[in-house]
Chains A and B, each alone.
Chain A
């Protein structure tokens, strides 16, 4: 299981990469594996407000439709449009293929580091 150490994670399997005042958000390798082949993702729009620990997107895989929770609060400044054309990119590389970029005002207090996240994944396995 691939868990990059430079990222922070939500126990619901989303990652966040903070770069100054902006944060990129995606789903973890564990999440894409559990979902199976991803078919669609419904993305928010640039300018939308997102709230930490609340759902900001839905992912549909061949197994199920699932919500994606936001690790930060703030305003969406970019969305990964490649995912509109091919949501399967999330299976190929869930870390290169971020989902949204947020100008954030606050981080979720549920975020954990890579080591703690690995423990969570092992418990869920």
Chain B
């Protein structure tokens, strides 16, 4: 194992000179009661530590990262340049508004770009990431329903293909969850939806295209059914990369959405940085959005608003990065990125479908194949195939999700990969399957090259230690 900085610390080893003190000295220990126990190391040791850690992980800069539903696209370096500008980093949110006009301009521009892409009227940047955006949206819908006297609307409808966070957020926000089945083609069972709606329906939560990478063409009818029953439509923006610039949730009948800037708009995530999950809504919900001190929007009502869910405008630097991406690509570029993401997924699917004993069928930005047949034929499972991919320098797809597909493997190559890269990925998958046929034990033993091979997942879930004692 790699030692922690606290374990590497050597008292007095980080010598540096501070500028002369020009304010009255305050003893830290007098305020805190105890000395702050920070590690002390020379700069070079700190750099070696982090560089060593960086070599143990796989990022999109190491190789393909087709982790389904996570949109692990490349994060252009230009985003880092703009986010590091002094005007964005050397400020405080409480300084006078007329001294941070650049920041408010960023918020305005991003606001209008997101409204344009989503077909919505108002945005709140506060939520820190996707699930937080879901939770915030649910609270907004709850407050709205209460304000119009519809307190009996306590149920949230989700299809069985939904992201796990949807029902979890609904329960966390105090709603009850009603799960409805999908047809065998992956679309929502309309009869089940019609039977599920009623005067207790608060909203339906949906991602479109869904987790199977299928665009549910019944969306307009679904929205009609839910709205006719008095419910609201919530769009989970996790899969926005499939439709950006081509179709808008607002036009499909959705009332409120969250969007993951860190997925669709190329900002680091998955251990690489904080996310940002702004929510956007139609005009009639605007007054219920989180209140912020520095609100450039009109119409925020302190009585109606659900209040803050995070300080100020959330993870502001992430918004700067997302805006950089939006402006660098432009409207046509965003549309093109989305089109290429869908093309790449179809191209990869077409090449590897037969390995899984499946027929290629059209997909959106991602697709799901089942490793069931590999299990029957060779005794290798989705987990074994995923682990073998690690040895080949490829991040595995999402596995065992969605739950409605056995031994699911969910690939999302994103627009980042070139044709050559996808060809090479497909070739690697073919060679893994040929090893599965000739020497399945080699796959059971994979990965051999990763720093951690096969962690004890039960122990990891039950006895997780997230703190260290120093």
Question: Could you tell me which A residues sit within 8 Å of B by CB distance?
Answer: 34, 36-37, 39-40, 60, 62-66, 88, 124-125
Q: How far is the CA of A40 from the CA of B461 in the complex (A)?
A: 9
Q: How far is the CA of A37 from the CA of B460 in the complex (A)?
A: 12
Q: Does B360 contact A (CB under 8 A)?
A: no
> Is A66 within 8 A of B457, CB to CB?
no
Shortest C-beta distance, B410 to chain A (Å), equals 13
Tell me which residues across on chain B come within 8 A of A124, comparing CB atoms. Answer: 406
> Is B461 within 8 A of A64, CB to CB?
no
Tell me which residues across on chain B come within 8 A of A39, comparing CB atoms. Answer: 458, 461-462
> Is A62 within 8 A of B403, CB to CB?
no
Number of B residues, CB within 8 Å of A: 10
23 pairs from A and B in contact (CB 8 Å cutoff): A34-B406, A36-B400, A37-B457, A37-B458, A39-B458, A39-B461, A39-B462, A40-B461, A40-B462, A60-B461, A62-B457, A62-B458, A62-B461, A63-B400, A64-B164, A64-B400, A64-B401, A64-B403, A65-B164, A66-B403, A88-B458, A124-B406, A125-B372
Q: How far is the CA of A39 from the CA of B462 in the complex (A)?
A: 7
Q: How far is the CA of A37 from the CA of B372 in the complex (A)?
A: 18
Q: How far is the CA of A63 from the CA of B400 in the complex (A)?
A: 6
Q: How far is the CA of A125 from the CA of B376 in the complex (A)?
A: 10
Which single residue of chain B is at the shortest CB-CB distance from A36?
A: B400
Tell me which residues across on chain B come within 8 A of A66, comparing CB atoms. Answer: 403
Tell me which residues across on chain B come within 8 A of A63, comparing CB atoms. Answer: 400
For residues 446 through 460 of chain B, which have their beta carbon under 8 Å from a beta carbon of chain A?
Answer: 457-458
Tell me which residues across on chain A come within 8 A of B457, comparing CB atoms. Answer: 37, 62
Q: How far is the CA of A115 from the CA of B32 in the complex (A)?
A: 70
Tell me which residues across on chain A come within 8 A of B461, comparing CB atoms. Answer: 39-40, 60, 62
Shortest C-beta distance, A30 to chain B (Å), equals 12
Which single residue of chain B is at the shortest CB-CB distance from A39?
A: B461
Tell me which residues across on chain B come within 8 A of A36, comparing CB atoms. Answer: 400
For residues 422 through 470 of chain B, which have their beta carbon under 8 Å from a beta carbon of chain A?
Answer: 457-458, 461-462
Which single residue of chain A is at the shortest CB-CB distance from B375?
A: A125
Shortest C-beta distance, A28 to chain B (Å), equals 16
Closest 10 CB pairs of A and B: A62-B457, A63-B400, A39-B461, A37-B458, A64-B403, A39-B458, A39-B462, A62-B458, A37-B457, A64-B400
Shortest C-beta distance, A83 to chain B (Å), equals 13
Q: How far is the CA of A62 from the CA of B401 in the complex (A)?
A: 12
Tell me which residues across on chain A come within 8 A of B462, comparing CB atoms. Answer: 39-40
For residues 251 through 266 of chain B, which have their beta carbon under 8 Å from a beta carbon of chain A?
Answer: none
Q: How far is the CA of A45 from the CA of B462 in the complex (A)?
A: 22
Q: How far is the CA of A88 from the CA of B164 in the complex (A)?
A: 22
Q: How far is the CA of A37 from the CA of B381 in the complex (A)?
A: 14
Q: Which of A40, A62, A88, A124 has the most CB of B within 10 A?
A: A62
Which single residue of chain A is at the shortest CB-CB distance from B399?
A: A63
Tell me which residues across on chain B come within 8 A of A37, comparing CB atoms. Answer: 457-458
Q: How far is the CA of A125 from the CA of B406 in the complex (A)?
A: 8
Q: Which of A37, A60, A66 has the most CB of B within 10 A?
A: A37
Shortest C-beta distance, B239 to chain A (Å), equals 20
Tell me which residues across on chain B come within 8 A of A65, comparing CB atoms. Answer: 164
Shortest C-beta distance, B213 to chain A (Å), equals 19
Tell me which residues across on chain B come within 8 A of A64, comparing CB atoms. Answer: 164, 400-401, 403
Beyond the given pairs A37-B457, A39-B458, A40-B461, 11 more chain A to chain B contacts, judged by CB atoms under 8 angstroms and listed by A's residue number, are A36-B400, A37-B458, A39-B461, A39-B462, A40-B462, A62-B458, A64-B401, A64-B403, A66-B403, A124-B406, A125-B372
Shortest C-beta distance, B59 to chain A (Å), equals 24
Shortest C-beta distance, A56 to chain B (Å), equals 15
Which single residue of chain B is at the shortest CB-CB distance from A38?
A: B458
Tell me which residues across on chain A come within 8 A of B372, comparing CB atoms. Answer: 125
Q: How far is the CA of A39 from the CA of B458 in the complex (A)?
A: 6
Which single residue of chain A is at the shortest CB-CB distance from B462?
A: A39
For residues 370 through 407 of chain B, which have their beta carbon under 8 Å from a beta carbon of chain A?
Answer: 372, 400-401, 403, 406
